[in-house]
């Protein structure tokens, strides 16, 4: 069974203070690791897909990296509007052609001005 | 930009009543999903739907649940006899090539 563990559960940063969020995973044949942003009461918003170890993706102040066991979401010089819950999800080979996602509990990021 | 839409945004119902949650996926997508998120917990997979049939369902998706694509645009989740523990956010998602895009969710409250 695919498993995703995210840490820390919550992170409080000052504006401009860079940091990283961790996503550790166990999956039978990774078919994609996904990062989403979720604002309170809203649906997950797609950020990145990573497929193989060593791959990196960037978008504005966010950069996602992938190893064989974990992924990091690096946040450089965050702003208050980056405050949200960041979700990590995996798609494994056991899902076959159904492409279902297994999510972690998320990291609640708060950026103070 | 195309997006997944869901209605209603909030549904309040009495235990034992039937509810139907509605979704309009992105128009050229072929894979459709329902997930749920109980307050403070993970987003959990319920069911996937492709080529007009269920392709996989989780243990949560028991006989009380059903899905349907009644026309070319809508995708619905029906809960036949709601229980208190069905209270959650229900998210519809659709996928074209590789990424799943989620709707804003329906908050279901069962009293």
Give B66-82 pLDDT, tens digit per residue: 999 988 789 999 999 99
Q: Is B99 on the interface with A (CB under 8 A)?
A: yes
Q: Is the dihedral of CA A72, A65, B104, B21 positive or negative?
A: negative
Q: Is A40 on the interface with B (CB under 8 A)?
A: no
Nearest to B102 among A43, A100, A105 (CB): A43
B47-85 in b/e burial notation, b at 16+ Cβ within 10 A?
Answer: bbbbeeeebbbbebbeeebebebeeeeebebebeebeee
Lowest mean pLDDT among A18-27, A92-101, B10-19: A92-101
Nearest to A105 among B42, B101, B105 (CB): B42
Return d(Cα A68, Cα A73) in angstroms, integer.
Answer: 15
Residues of chain A in contact with residue B44, where contact means CB-CB under 8 angstroms, are 103
- The total of other beta-carbon atoms located within 10 Å of residue A65's CB is 18
The tens digit of pLDDT for each residue in A8-61 reads: 999 999 999 999 999 999 998 899 999 999 999 999 999 999 999 999 999 999
Tokens of B89: 């956010």
Residues of chain A in contact with residue B43, where contact means CB-CB under 8 angstroms, are 44, 87, 89, 101, 103
Q: Please report where in the chains the tokens 């000052």 appear, as a residue.
A: A14
Return d(Cα B15, Cα B22) in angstroms, integer.
Answer: 20
| pLDDT of amino acid B46 | 97
Residues of chain A in contact with residue B89, where contact means CB-CB under 8 angstroms, are 41
Which residues, at least 6 apart from B62, have a Cβ–Cβ distance to it below 8 Å? none
Name the CA dihedral angle for A10, A4, B50, B68, rounded to a multiple of 10 degrees: -50
Closest CA to B91 of B79, B110, B109, B106: B106
- The total of other beta-carbon atoms located within 10 Å of residue B2's CB is 12
- Note which residues in 49-88 of chain A have CB less than 8 A from chain B: 49, 87
**What's chain A's average pLDDT?**
95
Nearest to A101 among B55, B100, B103 (CB): B100
Residue of B nearest to A89 (CA): B43
Residue in B25, B100, B108 to test binding to A, most A beta-carbons within 10 Å: B100
pLDDT band, very low/low/confident/very high, at A95 (cuts 50, 70, 90): low
């Amino acid at each position: 069974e695919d498993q995703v563990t995210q840490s820390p559960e919550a992170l409080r940063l000052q504006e401009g203070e860079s940091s990283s969020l961790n996503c550790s995973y166990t999956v039978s044949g990774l078919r994609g690791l996904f990062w989403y942003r979720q604002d309170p009461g809203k649906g997950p918003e797609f950020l990145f897909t990573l497929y193989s170890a060593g791959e990196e993706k960037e978008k504005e102040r966010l950069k996602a990296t992938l190893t064989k066991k974990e992924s990091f979401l690096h946040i450089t010089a965050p702003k208050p509007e980056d405050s949200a819950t960041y979700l990590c999800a995996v798609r494994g080979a056991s899902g076959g052609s159904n492409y279902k996602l297994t999510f972690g509990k998320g990291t609640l990021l708060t950026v103070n001005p | 930009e195309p997006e997944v839409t869901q209605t209603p945004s909030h549904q309040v119902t009495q235990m034992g009543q039937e509810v139907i949650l509605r979704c309009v996926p992105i128009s050229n997508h072929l894979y459709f999903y329902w997930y749920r998120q109980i307050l403070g917990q993970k987003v959990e997979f319920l069911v996937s739907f492709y080529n007009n049939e269920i392709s996989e369902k989780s243990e949560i998706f028991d006989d009380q649940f059903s899905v349907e694509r009644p026309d070319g645009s809508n995708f619905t989740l029906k809960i036949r006899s709601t229980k208190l523990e069905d209270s959650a956010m229900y998210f519809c998602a659709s996928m074209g090539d590789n990424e799943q895009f989620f709707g804003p969710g329906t908050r279901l409250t069962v009293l």
